[in-house]
Amino acid sequence: MSNKTSVHIIRAFAGPRHSKLEFIWDCIAESEQDAVVLDVFSNPGAKLSHAECYKKMWEQALGAPGRYALLTKFDFLPDLGRWLPLRRLTARQPVIVAEYVTRDPDTRALIPHGMPGARYILADKKHVGSSHLPLDFAPCGKFNDPANGLDDALVRDYGVRPLYLIQADCMPLHWGTRMLTGEHLFWSRHLHDDPMRHVAGFHLGDIQRRHDIAVNRWCANAPDRLRRIMTNRLTCKDESESCSSSTPVTSSSSGSGGNSQSSGARSTLK
């Protein structure tokens, strides 16, 4: 089994902001093609639930080349020097997860909840890759969000615990968070809504504006090789819409489809 990582991302929404994020990830896949294979799971109109998508993406990850798998979203902007901390994956902690956080609608404060979130899940399939004992992404608990019970499921099924990525608040830069592996922008489903609309007390226009600033900043600070790839692709597109690319990207439709006992202490990466 090679040390490649298959990266699985949901495509659920359409619009210029999502198209730009997908373009960035296509370019990352080309830049990192010796280490990464990108698979985009299509879920148009979000017909499947978030948890169902993760279940199907994990099934695809089990059949993908390479030892490692990352399940995430287009609005995760990776720190390209640290976004795949593979050496931190061990037999005792074969999964790295983003800690689940919410934002208080009144104070805007970020609230950590000490449980996994579905924003970033990196797994070593050597230790949690059994098709007979799949990872459990079912929504549960107070927030009923997918992967919230993954910690307990790993203990129950594999006798291991995940390693947590601690979330730091990115306000006022944008409404999301920063972790060791990169930034998560949040509010992806509302990126193309009416900018004057308010959802749960949050002004969507402000969220969208800060999102755009964060993405443009990330592109401006990208490594030279990646910036050249993005520039070449944009030039190619301007010259001919039929210009071909060698990027190792596959697209999936919504229809496709040894354990060590760890301690009860929660481990974190900052």
pLDDT (tens digit, 9 = 90+) per residue, 122-176?
999 999 987 677 888 988 888 888 999 999 999 999 999 999 999 999 999 999 9
Q: Is residue 266 part of a domain?
A: no
Is residue 193 exposed (0-12), middle (13-18) or buried (19+ Cβ within 10 Å)? middle
pLDDT reported for residue 245: 47
> Quick one: which of 75, 49, 29, 105 has its CA closest to 208?
75
For position 247, which CATH number holds? 3.90.550
pLDDT reported for residue 270: 62
Give the integer Cα–Cα distance in Å for 138 and 129: 17
pLDDT reported for residue 244: 47
User: Which amino acid is present at 163?
Assistant: L
Three-class secondary structure of residue 270 per DSSP: coil
Q: Is residue 82 part of a domain?
A: yes
Q: Is residue 51 part of a domain?
A: yes
Q: Is residue 265 part of a domain?
A: no
Q: How many domains does the chain have?
A: 1
Torsional sign, CA 4, 80, 84, 136: negative
Q: Is residue 270 part of a domain?
A: no
User: Which amino acid is present at 65?
Assistant: P
pLDDT reported for residue 47: 85
The strand order across the sheet containing 168-169 reads 76-78, 182-184, 177-179, 168-169
- Output the pTM of the full model: 0.87
The CA-atom distances, in angstroms, between 182 and each of 9, 140, 149 are: 15, 26, 23
Q: Is residue 196 part of a domain?
A: yes
The whole domain housing 103 covers 5-254
Q: Omega of the bond prior to 172 within 30 degrees of 0, cis?
A: yes
Q: Is residue 223 part of a domain?
A: yes
H helix runs in the chain, sequence order: 16-31, 50-63, 125-128, 150-158, 204-220, 224-239
Give the integer Cα–Cα distance in Å for 179 and 98: 8
Three-class secondary structure of residue 260 per DSSP: coil
> Quick one: which of 205, 54, 67 has its CA closest to 134?
54
- List of E strands, the chain: 5-11, 36-42, 68-73, 76-78, 95-103, 110-124, 163-165, 168-169, 177-179, 182-184, 198-199, 202-203, 249-252, 267-269
pLDDT reported for residue 132: 72
Q: Is residue 216 part of a domain?
A: yes
pLDDT reported for residue 235: 87
Residues with pLDDT less than 70, the chain: 1, 131, 237-265, 267-270
Q: Which pair of tokens denotes residue 11?
A: 């495509």
